[in-house]
Structure 1
Amino acid sequence: MTNRTVTLPTLDHGPVTLPEPAWCAGHADHRPDTARADLIHCGPPAALTYLGIDVFTAELVASPYASTTIPRLGGPTPGVSIDPLGRTLDPADLYDFAARLDTYADRLRALADQLDAILAGGAR
């Protein structure tokens, strides 16, 4: 655990002091009209950017006061949020997602090979 804390203003509970995990990138974009249940810790984003467009971003997240019990929608337990998927994944989900990305990358390479052959006049 960490000894760091952060105090954030909230709409419904006033200033709230909470432990801040070492991986949290801070709260520079925190809005004071946020409800306590919506407070969130986010790690630095890991983005897959292509042609200047963020195709995917992923970051560690935890919402210490969230009360959701719906899987993959975040909560007090840290997870990895994937955008634009709009879900928070646990380790097993994240490994599965990475494996599916590997498979998709193979499909993209096969399409590149097919396109290369078409452009070279070898296939139609």
Structure 2
Amino acid sequence: MDHPMPSAGRTITLPTLDYGDVTLTCPQWCTGHADHRPDTYRADIHHRGPDVVLAFHGAEIIAAGLSQSPFATIVTPGLGGPTVGASVSPPDRSLTPVDLYSLAVALDSYADQLRDLAEQLHALLVGGAR
């Protein structure tokens, strides 16, 4: 599915609690800052891309999207920061490309387990076993 994205080089100015008005350039994938509040600290400003969502029966199971906090001072992996990452929820962590591939492998394995469970359930229902 294609998502409309703003053009690269779009400059915005956001009010912050600690630095006043902060002007920054949004990356091409950033969907905007409509949810920005003026009582936000500069370090908490973040760019977000559109989410890739797995939903089932109207419930969101997992969502992931590009994320970057250009003024963050956090250097703890998994908590986001000035380097672009993939924000995944759950588990509410920022993932590297390697981590994201590992998550995809885990989801593939889980899908296999669900198919096995579906076959077991089908056999129980068809066979009348309890």
How far, CA to CA, are the matches of 1:30 and 1:23 in structure 2? 17
Does residue 64 (structure 1) correspond to residue 59 (structure 2)? The answer is no
Unpaired runs of 5+ residues, structure 2, are: 1-7
User: Equivalences for 1:12-91 in 2 at 5 Å?
Assistant: 12-91=18-97
What residue number does 2:5 align with? none
Secondary structure at the aligned position of 1:120 is classed as: helix
How far, CA to CA, are the matches of 1:21 and 1:123 in structure 2? 57
1:19 is displaced (CA, Å) by 1.4
1:122 is displaced (CA, Å) by 5.9
Amino acid of the residue matched to residue 101 of structure 2?
Answer: Y
- Structure 1's consecutive aligned runs of 4 or more residues displaced over 3 angstroms after TM superposition are none
1:3 is displaced (CA, Å) by 2.4
How far, CA to CA, are the matches of 2:101 and 2:36 in structure 1? 30
1:123 is displaced (CA, Å) by 4.6
> How many residues end up aligned between the 2 structures?
123
Secondary structure at the aligned position of 1:85 is classed as: coil
Q: CA RMSD for the aligned pairs?
A: 1.1
1:56 is displaced (CA, Å) by 0.5
Amino acid of the residue matched to residue 123 of structure 2?
Answer: A
Instruction: Give the counterpart of 2:119 among 81, 105, 113.
Output: 113
Amino acid of the residue matched to residue 116 of structure 1?
Answer: H
Secondary structure at the aligned position of 2:109 is classed as: helix
How far, CA to CA, are the matches of 1:117 and 1:32 in structure 2? 58
Moved more, 3-12 or 86-95: 3-12
Secondary structure at the aligned position of 2:117 is classed as: helix
Q: Do 2:9 and 2:28's aligned partners in 1 also have CA atoms closer than 8 Å?
A: no
